[in-house]
Amino acid sequence: MDFAQLAALTGGHAEARAIQTAVKLGLFDSLGHGPRDASELATSLKVDRRAIAVLADAMTALGLLVKTAGHYDLTDVSRRFLLKSSAEYLGGLILFDDAFFETWVHLEQTIRTGAPARTLDMFQNKPEETARFIRAMDSLTRARGDAQFVAERLDLREIPIVADLGGGPGTYVAAMLRRWPHLRAAIFDLPATLDVARTILAEREPDIAPRIDLIPLNYLKVELPQGCGAIFMSNIIHSEDEPTNVDLMRKCFRALNSGGIVIVKDHIMNEDLTEPKAGAIFSLYLLLATRGRDYSFGEVSEWLSGAGFVDIRLETLPSPPFTSSMVIARKP
């Protein structure tokens, strides 16, 4: 690493905050129908002309806008990922990061004490926070293409019903049900999350939604319903500590039919917990907001084998674009 790379890392918050502000103000959406100059942007967005020009110039420097004869326009990247009308809109995640930004101020205290910087409520206490969090997860998954890739990769031809534990917006199971027409699904999640999932599925998956049961459930407090052919969980174990995950794998084992499979999709780390890099950095988010961190394949394998699972294997997703992997195991 040289000086320029180090300096870019230490100042990376500036680029992040600028992009978050541009999305929040609607800068990219204001250019969805064609180029505009700073005066037109200021009028459209109801902001200061001089200030919006500085922000638009910064977005141009970052490669998210192009500037020609004083007029700003979208690039292919911003048109694909930063327009609300795009199927790959990443704005949900960007707006979540914007809202979460103040939590980073408390990182030093969290490192000193080990205590999270916010209430451990999984964004359930305020409807606007729940919606922002769940739509952020949906936004990231759709923009990167995780759900479609996973649905194509898994062999579910012999599975009658898949349960998505902590399934949030239903992005993954919707893709699985499109891939496998015989399949039914259940989403096990908290009530506030299911309210958001119901809205999202009605908006985007009206043909698929009737095949998905939304079941209120707190896996920390109750057993999982039995009779599952497969249990899928994406980005669940990283929110919990080690004893909770040991117990969760036992609950999954008891809920599955004989021959059923469990699929754990997450940042699956190397044994040193330093790769993938995205997982090592994301563990700082998790320290701030959860009981968890990202775990290694060895740790996950130990929980699964201890619960009684066999044929435990790691399937690494191609990187880029993905940063996570799947651990798949079978109940004898």
- CB contact set of 181 (below 8 Å; sequence gap of 6+): none
Are the C-beta atoms of 251 and 258 separated by less than 8 Å? no
Rounded CA-CA distance 218/147 in Å is 23
The label of the residue with tokens 């000086």 reads: 3
pLDDT value of residue 121: 82
pLDDT tens digits, residue range 224-280?
999 999 999 999 999 999 999 999 999 999 999 999 999 999 999 999 999 999 999
pLDDT digits (tens, 9 = 90+) for 200-213: 999 999 999 999 99
How high does pLDDT run on average in the chain? 96
Q: What share of the chain in percent tops pLDDT 70? A: 100
Q: Can you name the residues that pair with 313 across neighbouring β-strands?
A: 328
Q: Which long-range contacts (CB under 8 A, 24 or more apart) does 153-161 make?
A: 153/315, 153/317, 153/326, 154/263, 156/180, 156/183, 156/230, 157/182, 158/229, 159/183, 159/229, 159/230, 159/260, 159/261, 160/184, 160/229, 161/185, 161/186, 161/227, 161/228, 161/229, 161/230
Give the Cα separation of 285 and 18 in Å (integer).
20
Helix, strand or coil, per DSSP, at residue 276: coil
121: closest CA among 292, 237, 289, 293?
Answer: 289
Q: What angle do CA 214, 181, 256 make, to 5 degrees?
A: 55
Kindly report, residue by residue over 54-102, the tens digit of the pLDDT.
Answer: 999 999 999 999 999 999 999 999 999 999 999 999 999 999 999 999 9
Q: Which residue has the tokens 């939604």?
A: 209
- Contact indicator for 245, 239 with CB cutoff of 8 Å: no
Instruction: Tell me what the mean pLDDT of segment 189-206 comes to.
Output: 94
Predicted local distance difference test score (pLDDT) of residue 238 = 97
| This prediction's pTM | 0.92
Measure Cα distances from 213 to 131, 161, 162, 189, 230 in Å: 19, 10, 10, 11, 15
Q: pLDDT tens across 273-302, in order?
A: 999 999 999 999 999 999 999 999 999 999
Instruction: Write down the pLDDT at residue 125.
Output: 86
**Which one, of 300, 296, 313, 298, lies nearest residue 261 by Cα?**
313
Using the predicted structure, report yes or no on whether residue 123 has a pLDDT greater than 90.
Answer: no
Strands (DSSP E) along the chain, which ranges? 36-37, 65-68, 71-74, 161-165, 184-189, 212-216, 228-234, 256-266, 268-269, 295-296, 310-316, 325-330
pLDDT value of position 12: 92
> CA-based angle 249:255:258, to the nearest 5?
100
pLDDT at residue 120, as a whole number: 82
125 burial (CB, 10 Å; 0-12 / 13-18 / 19+) is exposed
In this structure, the number of other CB atoms found within 10 A of the CB of residue 187 comes to 28
Residue 3 backbone class (left: φ over 0; alpha: ψ -120 to 50; beta: rest): alpha
Distance (Å, whole) CA 261 – CA 96: 32
Please give the structure tokens belonging to residue 240.
């919990």
Is it the case that residue 117 has pLDDT exceeding 90?
yes
Q: How far apart are CA 148 and CA 175, in angstroms?
A: 6
Q: Are 76 and 64 in contact (CB under 8 A)?
A: no
- Domains belonging to the chain, first-starting first, are 3-86 (1.10.10.10), 106-330 (3.40.50.150)
Residue 90: the pLDDT is 97
